[in-house]
Structure 1
Amino acid sequence: MDLPAEPSPPVATSPRRPRVAVVLFNLGGPDAPESVRPFLVNLFTDPAILRVPGWVRPWLGRIIAWRRTRPASENYAILGGRSPLLELTQEQAEALESVLNAEGEVEAKAFIAMRYWHPMSDACAAAVKAWGPDEILLLPLYPQFSTTTTGSSMVAWDKAAARIGLSVPTTTLCCFHSDPAFADATARMVRDSYEKARAELDPAVKLRVLFSAHGLPESIVTAGDPYQWQVEQSVERVVERLDIADLDHVVCYQSRVTPQKWIGPSTEDELERAGHDKVAVLVVPIAFTSEHSETLVELDVEYREEAEKLGVPGYFRTPAQNADPGFIAALAGLVRHARCSGRSLCSFGGARQCPKQHRDCPHEKVSAARRAQVTA
């Protein structure tokens, strides 16, 4: 008589890791000479950039783009006729994806949503939906929040996701201006370039650090945009970690493109002051985390030439973070923290970081919406 076979022991299975789509927000840049004009049209017809009545914006934005096409094309010609930003962002995405997957907590895939040139939010949202994530994490590559950068990308993403019915639990990281790991990684890069500059300079020549960020019209900041405050916070945190005694440094702003008053001091003015003081300068792109035309051309070519004309005794620059391992590790930490925050909108510290006078902090809008629901 055959005995019944004993049942096989259950096979242990590990729980499925959550699939997390990490969407990297960045500016974008033309990928060919013929892309310069339409890229500029996309930029200057954005309501977050050109703050004029809606009926004026389409034609005024195109006029501005037409006027800017020739100088912009000349800049991109120096770079081979195209922006390197997409390839550099892809390297950041691949590096971040690799770190997150190696940790084993999630199955992560990084996607890119450029704001003004391809791949833009519509294409990115479609790719995310096709992958089928359990969660979405929106991660700007702008350390400091501005309505003109991260804010504009958030609006574009929401519209793109709504158009295709992409409805997945989503967390948005608004800023990481004072994140300790970001500050540490940035300070290490600045210290390296500071030491190299000092080694090349005559010991009698002083060295001043210019933390240069993209400027904004003063009216945007006055209206409540927290960008300038956040830039200053970034610089404070980096300087603390540099721990260089009596460090001569200043925050300044570059890339003015309209005749209205912009926040200052300008980087050009600081170069002039350095020439007058006969001090060398180390320029640090504190608000850019990838090389592009405003670092590779404006800083490396135009401002270098200007510094030489002004008699600045030495001109040096710290590179942008790109796929620096310390920076990528900081991004991975931000992803982990944001996922565990329990918030749909969070800063690097979780809750709102901006003082109350910065009314365009995205947390203010969330709070206002909640107050409206309570009083409704």
Structure 2
Amino acid sequence: MNPKPPKQKKTLILVNLGGPRSTEEIEVFLTDLFTDPYVFDLPLPEFLRLPLARFIAKKRTPKVKKTYESMGFGGGSPLVSETEKQAKTLESILNQKTNIDWIVKIAMTCGYPHIRDPEFEKPSPDTIYLPLYPQYSRSTVLSTLNHLEKKFKECPAGSGGYVPTFSLDPKFHKISAKFIYEFFNGELNSKDFLHFPKEKPNIDWKGLDLVFSAHGVPMRLIHKGDRYMQEIESSVKGITEQLRLFGFRGNTYISYQSKVGPAKWTEPSSISMIESLSQEEKEIAVYPISFVSDHLETLEEIGEQFKDIALKSGAKSFTRIPAFGTYLPFMEYLAERVLVGDSSIHHCICKEMGGESLPTCRFK
């Protein structure tokens, strides 16, 4: 009897921005962040921009250290460990759905494990990269593609080893609306989430003022052709339409958080939006539209800072809706995206979505 042929092997690499796993990694994380030309984009030559970036990273480290210490995760961020949970879940789903032997790893563009490490091989149909950003932005997706292009001398888009963003997909809108609905109706498993409310919110969620808070980006990136704001707006429109089918009748708003430095960023700011709604004595909920796992921006900035501002400014109530984490419908959706990969890409998405083609673009 002939033995069964060995299973085909494939590797999926989940890419996220990253976060320090401990206090000791904070300066390394910030240095990676600020030296990235697609994140810390300044009209300066590199011999000036890089020393300035390193100086800012060093200067900000003590302040950031205090913030991380207050979160209760041992002085670091839970983003890496939360991404590892997503990787394990996806690995299980992909191995169940296919006759392929899948291994799912995680890589970060800032901090560890870093995407430039040798273990992360060249994108191909057998080594697939999935950036965990719903919306395209120069500061996230183009940054990821640039890291990979520098390493392998080839832009991954169109290689068969890249999964494009998904914020415009109606199925993503349906899953997002279902997640929000299940959160307010007590149908999520609290053990799957960080800082989950101990009791079901005692509010009429259908009449809430719902703020979709996205990570902000400098307007300089938007002026370069970044379609991030358009993608946020399309995401919110699609999710709101689906929420209406669940009976939601409240108002929805878009705002931007996490501004750094004096430059003009995307507006309105989440803080000003929440202050304004709170002064009208609204019941407010905030959903992190640009994040798929909980970390500093969702737990500390939304869950603590925004909540304090809202309640002190007169809001009747404030609710932080968690990020997806390992929410099964979302994980299954990502698995579907992985199996399709970038087969639909036949042109330069970097130019279309970010305003710039990378040097080795295969579609030039």
* TM bucket normalised to smaller: 0.7 to 0.9
Quote the residue 1:294 is aligned against: 297
Q: Which AA in structure 2 matches 1:248?
A: N
Contact 2:95 2:102 in 1 (8 A): yes
Q: For residue 163 of structure 2, what is the amino acid of its counterpart?
A: L
Aligned match of 2:180: 190
Alpha-carbon deviation of 1:28?
A: 0.8
**Aligned match of 1:73:** 65
* 1:1-376 equivalences in 2 (<5 Å): 11=2, 13=4, 16-52=6-42, 53-79=45-71, 80-123=74-117, 125-128=118-121, 135-161=126-152, 170-195=160-185, 200-201=202-203, 207-243=208-244, 244-338=247-341, 341=343, 343=345, 359=351, 361=353, 365=357, 372=364
TM-score (norm 1): 0.82
Aligned-residue offset at 1:207: 1.7
Task: Please state how far the C-alpha of 1:20 moved relative to its aligned partner.
Answer: 1.9
Following superposition, the deviation at residue 66 of structure 1 comes to 2.8
Please state whether the residue corresponding to 2:162 is helix, strand or coil.
strand
Residue 90 of structure 1: CA displacement? 0.7
Alignment TM-score, normalising by the size of structure 2: 0.85
Q: Which residue of 2 aligns with 1:7?
A: none
Say if 2:86 and 2:331, in contact at 8 Å, map to a contact too.
yes
Greater alpha carbon shift after TM alignment, 190-199 vs 64-73: 190-199
Gaps of 5+ in 2: 187-198
For 1:179 and 1:367, the matched residues in 2 are separated by 29
Residues in 1 aligned to 2:301 and 2:26: alpha-carbon distance in whole angstroms: 17
User: Which structure has the greater CA radius of gyration?
Assistant: 1
The Cα shift of 1:141 comes to 0.5
Is the CA contact (8 Å cut-off) linking 1:215 and 1:254 kept in structure 2?
yes
In the alignment, is the contact (CA less than 8 A) between 2:20 and 2:76 conserved in 1?
Answer: yes
The CA distance in 1 between the partners of 2:19 and 2:269, in whole Å, is 24
Give 2:191's aligned residue.
Answer: none
SS at match of 2:357: helix
1:241–1:289 Cα change, 3 Å:
same
How far apart are residue 360 of structure 1 and its match?
5.4
Once the two structures are aligned, what percentage of the paired residues are identical?
A: 31
CA contact (8 A) 1:18 1:134 kept: no
Structure 1 residues 109-139: Cα deviation after superposition (integer angstroms, max 9, x where no partner): 112110111101122x42547xx98612111
State the distance in 2 between where 1:285 and 1:262 align: 18
- Of 284-293 and 185-194, the range deviating more from structure 2: 185-194
Structure 1 counterpart of 2:192: none
SS in 1 for 2:261: coil
1:215/1:256 contact within 8 Å kept = yes
Q: CA 1:308 to 1:235, structure 2 compared with 1: closer, same or farther past 3 Å?
A: same
Take 1:362 and 1:264, find their aligned partners in 2: how far apart are those partners?
19
Q: CA deviation at 1:162?
A: 5.1
Partner Cα separation in structure 1 for residue 164 and residue 205 of structure 2: 43
Q: CA RMSD in A?
A: 3.1
Residue 366 of structure 1 and its aligned partner are, at CA, apart by 7.8
Following superposition, the deviation at residue 32 of structure 1 comes to 1.5
Q: What is the CA–CA distance in structure 1 between the aligned matches of 2:173 and 2:351, rounded to whole Å? A: 25
The change in CA–CA distance for 1:193 and 1:101 in structure 2 (over 3 A counts) is closer
Greater Cα shift, 294-303 or 235-244? 235-244
Q: CA deviation at 1:171?
A: 2.4
Q: How many residues align?
A: 344
Checking the alignment, whether the CA contact within 8 Å between 2:205 and 2:248 is kept in structure 1 is: no
- CA distance in 2 between counterparts of 1:336 and 1:198 reads 36
Deviations 1:180-231, CA, capped at 9 Å, x for gaps: 3332222122113345699613x69952000000001112112100111111
Between the aligned partners of 2:18 and 2:133, the Cα distance in structure 1 is 12
Q: Distance in 1 between matches of 2:274 and 2:250?
A: 17
Distance 1:190-1:367 versus aligned 2 partners, 3 A rule: farther
SS of aligned partner of 2:303: helix
Match of 1:3 in 2: none
SS at match of 1:172: coil
Deviation at 1:106, TM superposition (A): 2.4
The code of the aligned residue for 2:60 comes to R
| TM superposition shift of 1:36 | 1.2
| Larger CA deviation: 179-188 vs 302-311 | 179-188
Cα separation, 1, equivalents of 2:263 and 2:356 = 27
Letter in 2 for 1:181: K
AA partner of residue 152 (structure 1): S
Question: Deviations for 1:57-96, whole angstroms, at most 9, x for unmatched residues?
Answer: 1211122213322321111001230111111111101111
